[in-house]
Amino acid sequence: MMRSACCTLTTNRAVILRLFNDLFRGRLSHVYPSESQKSTCCRPPLRCTCTDSQSSRPFYITTPIFYVNASPHIGHVYSAVTADCLHRYKLLKGYDSRFATGTDEHGLKIQQAAGIAGKDPMSFCTEVSESFKDVFQRCGILYTDYIRTTEQRHHRAVEHFWTVLHSKGFIYKGTYEGWYSTPDESFLTPTQVTDSTDSTGREIKISTESGHKVEWMKEENYMFRLSAFRSELLQWFRLNPNVIQPVKFHHLVLQWLEDELPDLSVSRQKSRLQWGISVPGDPEQTIYVWLDALVNYLTVVGYPQNHARRWTAAHHVVGKDILKFHAIYWPAFLLAAGLPLPQKIYVHSHWTVEGKKMSKSLGNVVDPREAMKKFTVDGLRYFLLRQGVPDSDCDYYDDKVIKMCNSELADALGGLLNRCTALSLNPKQVYPQFSNICFPKESPEGLKGKAVSDDYRMLESVYALPGFVEKHFEHLQVYKALEAITACVRQTNGFIQRHAPWKLDQNESKDKQWLDTILHVSLECLKVYGTLLQPVVPDLADKILSRLGVKTEERNWDSLCFLVKYEGGDCTLEGRALGPDLGVLYSRLERSKEISKKATRQKSKP
Ligand code: MSP
């Protein structure tokens, strides 16, 4: 993939250099058609000047708010880490980014869970909500707002939202008769329901999609005119095929919208559901938990008073199981309320554990706190984002985390940092000097540098890397960005290995010049990797950049420069003292006995 622009190239250096120059002048922008091509300033010979300041541009990213009937698991953390990565990336790009997460605390399911736990609903919710908050804080989730649907500001927003919908005639009193799944808090049509048996062999009906038990209900409540929005929604999605990503989920939503869209029940009788927000003007009815929950995205930005500017920049991260609520109900509610629609709905698939759905009853729920203890925060974040493919479900098992972290973080990245900052190669511990004689941009007649064609190819990959990474971050395909970074790290390790700087004689001036050039180029590569990795593994990236002596204000995306000396520019880092050696970047993980046993079992499976 990284090689798309250069697969037809020969290793002829002149051709490669021409390609560099084309890249620098933007002639190949069609090859890497991301926004970065317009704004990025990391290509020599330009000094890094930010051309399109986004400092005042708002950005707003949300996670789903989490039900408090269960403790946080790695699936929840994946939703949060994914959104966190985009938020951190946007901050590095200079956006004024806000990031909201929180807990969904109303509804029948929570009412029942509190009852089973023998607690009053509010203390039950507070306890679990705090545990989500705690896990997110430990995981480095940089949220700017943590919303709970039991807060007063949210009650006010929901009541206002309801009143607007009602006053515009989109809510009417009616009777709902049909299937309801409490675990999903969802109404289902007969075609979404199938026959099954429960653990005692009794015949039951379940939701075809989630597999959860459904019940027949008939009650008088308020209905939302969802049917009135079908064609408008279809038109919106057809005109904006990039709103839902990845594209397979866009097609899925279009398919759903081909079917009839019945009106939606948006309240429950108080006698059945007490734990929720009352319908304004009708204390006998409680607002449907999904309408209540979705409005959280508006509450956070100050609805109904101050939401206008921020709301136009709304981006939602959601799991595939809640796509219908976000891609159909939510836009329809917003259209009815006369509010702008979200910019993007990023959908991700689910994590299974050792091939099975994660569930309390199977006892295979992965506790993120335990995982962080075993693999560190950045180890877990890296694994989830490197292995998590939004398009399809991913399987989690400890041994996979260990292998990935060891090979990519400890060996490849840590090894690279270690090698090119080693005291033995760099006794003065300063950012070494680059020599154009050893690594010439163009090779004048008779003057041959020491760099070989593979080295030029590596430069080419690293120059192109920020553009790739940016494009993949923008689409929230973080695993592709990490794949590209890993490939470059591999190339840089190959560069060092090829030239074996430890074999050069530091007392011999030509050798010393080449040694310093090798180290300079490698450190420049590491500076790029460290900068680009900040949204994914903030602690490790900080360790790398600090060791290189890169100041905090030099870590922004648009101030990223790579190897300016190669083009004859000035490198501000050259000659600067390296930062202190803080030890190993990422310690290799050992397999516990239990994990080894599991891995053997896994291997012997057909
Ligand atoms: N409360 C609703 C969301 C309301 S948003 C207005 C809800 N909560 S949830 O706790 O059940 O799920 C929250 C998120 O976690 C969803 O995006 C869901 O897809 C995600 N995950 C739950 N289990 C998951 C996995 N096993 N794997 C990945 N993500 C998973 O739905």
- For residue 47 the two structure tokens come to 């000094």
Ligand 1, residue 104: give the atom nearest the CA: 1
Which token pair is 205?
Answer: 């009906």
Buried b (16+ CB within 10 A) or exposed e, 51-76: eeebeeebbbbbbbbbbbbebbbbbb
Cα gap 463→17, rounded to integer Å: 12
Task: Report the nearest-CA residue for atom 25 of ligand 1.
Answer: 75
pLDDT at 10: 30
Q: Which residues contact 47 (CB under 8 A, 6 or more apart)?
A: 41, 561, 564, 569, 570
DSSP lists the bridge partners of residue 274 as: none
The answer to whether residues 546 and 81 touch, using CB atoms and an 8 Å cutoff, is no
Q: Tell me the best of 62, 65, 76, 125 to mutate to test the pocket of ligand 1, counting ligand atoms within 8 Å of each CB and taking the most.
A: 76
If you take atom 8 of ligand 1, which residue's CA is the nearest one? 66
DSSP H or E stretch at residue 178: strand 171-181
CA distance 231 to 251: 15
Name the residue at shortest CA distance from atom 12 of ligand 1. Answer: 66
pLDDT at 605: 64
What backbone phi and psi angles, to 5 degrees, belong to 451? -75, 145
Tell how many helices (H) and how many strands (E) occur in the chain.
22, 19
**pLDDT value, residue 3:** 30
Q: What is the pLDDT of residue 31?
A: 27
- Tell me which residue has its CA closest to atom 15 in ligand 1: 76
> Whose Cα sits closest to atom 23 in ligand 1?
75
The confidence score (pLDDT) of residue 43 equals 36
Could you tell me if residue 490 is left (phi over 0), alpha (psi between -120 and 50 degrees) or otherwise beta?
A: alpha
The pLDDT assigned to 279 comes to: 98
Contact 288, 150 (CB under 8 A): no
Q: What DSSP line would sit under 92-144, residue for residue?
A: HTT-EEEEEEEEE--SHHHHHHHHHHTS-HHHHHHHHHHHHHHHHHHTT---S
What is the pTM (predicted TM-score) of this model?
A: 0.89
pLDDT (tens digit per residue) in 471-509: 999 999 999 999 999 999 999 999 999 999 999 999 999
Query: What pLDDT does 602 receive?
Result: 63
537 C-alpha to center of ligand 1: Å? Answer: 23
* Token duo for residue 242: 């990039």
- Distance, CA of 2 to CA of 483 (rounded, Å): 9
Mutate to test the pocket of ligand 1, among 104, 316, 329, 476 (most ligand atoms within 8 A of CB): 104
d(CA 204, CA 196): 5
pLDDT of residue 448: 76
Atom of ligand 1 at shortest distance to CA of 349?
A: 28
Please report the DSSP string for 65-98 in residue order: PEETTS---HHHHHHHHHHHHHHHHHHHTT-EEE
For ligand 1, mutation pick of 62, 66, 354, 359 (most atoms within 8 Å of CB): 66
Give pLDDT < 50 ranges for the chain.
1-53
What is the Cα–Cα distance from 69 to 113, expressed in whole angstroms?
A: 6
Residues lining ligand 1, Cβ inside 6 A:
64-67, 75-76, 78-79, 104, 293-294, 296, 318-319, 321-322, 350-351, 358
Q: What is the pLDDT of residue 445?
A: 52
Contact yes or no for 97/57 (Cβ under 8 A): no
